[in-house]
Chain A
Amino acid sequence: DQQVKQNSPSLSVQEGRISILNCDYTNSMFDYFLWYKKYPAEGPTFLISISSIKDKNEDGRFTVFLNKSAKHLSLHIVPSQPGDSAVYFCAASARAAGNKLTFGGGTRVLVKP
């Protein structure tokens, strides 16, 4: 039972353009959402998060949008840079479950120069 899904396994984008990564969830108890970036043989690096009381959060080139009614979140990266090429994971947690993160399957992003 996949509670967090990233339906696009890969994404290719031109340098300077926008990258849009999508994530869907099914558990209505989730109230905190995070995006991580991961390079091979390294641990995930935290990018940005959003609480369920908000619908948007920005940090530099990264913006996360949350649509609670659709149980959908997205990460926008503008402008995309070659160094952004990595696997991106969305994750969700529920207050009642403490710090347990449930991860999506990841989206591999390739930014072409």
Chain B
Amino acid sequence: KAGVTQTPRYLIKTRGQQVTLSCSPISGHRSVSWYQQTPGQGLQFLFEYFSETQRNKGNFPGRFSGRQFSNSRSEMNVSTLELGDSALYLCASSHTGPNYEQYFGPGTRLTVT
């Protein structure tokens, strides 16, 4: 089975711009979660989507949003980028329900200048 794929792998944006990141889960996985990794805050949960609905949300401002399509692919969007949004954004997919391991993609490295 192919793993979780994320595009693009690297991105450079300017403050104030917006960005959209894409994630394709492992075939058969219907839950997609997004995480942000920064040196200062570590790995933090952004949100989880299941059946095109946001099922869980972390403590991030409303500038961070996402969606999931009927084929389980997901996108996350960050509007009005700030310097502090520079991070590795990771997508993970898993089977339905709790207590299933999540499998991560390689991440998108976002740099905001």
Binding site for B on A (CB under 8 A): 31-32, 34, 36, 41-46, 49, 51, 89, 91, 93-95, 97-106
Binding site for A on B (CB under 8 A): 4, 6, 31, 33, 35, 42-45, 48, 50, 55-56, 58, 88, 90, 92, 94, 98-107, 109
A93 in contact with B33 given A43-B90, A43-B105, A101-B45 (CB within 8 Å): no
Q: Tell me if A100 and B33 are in contact (CB < 8 A).
A: yes
Q: Tell me if B99 and A31 are in contact (CB < 8 A).
A: yes
Q: Tell me if B45 and A100 are in contact (CB < 8 A).
A: yes
A43 to B37, CA, bound (A): 10
Q: Name the contact of B101 in the complex, choosing from A49, A89, A97, A102 (C-beta under 8 A).
A: A49
Could you say which residues of chain A place their CB within 8 Å of the CB of B31? 98-99
Q: Tell me if B100 and A41 are in contact (CB < 8 A).
A: no
- Can you list 20 pairs linking A and B with CB atoms under 8 Å apart? A34-B101, A41-B88, A41-B106, A43-B90, A44-B43, A44-B90, A44-B104, A46-B102, A46-B104, A91-B43, A95-B99, A97-B56, A98-B55, A98-B56, A99-B33, A99-B48, A99-B56, A99-B100, A101-B33, A106-B42
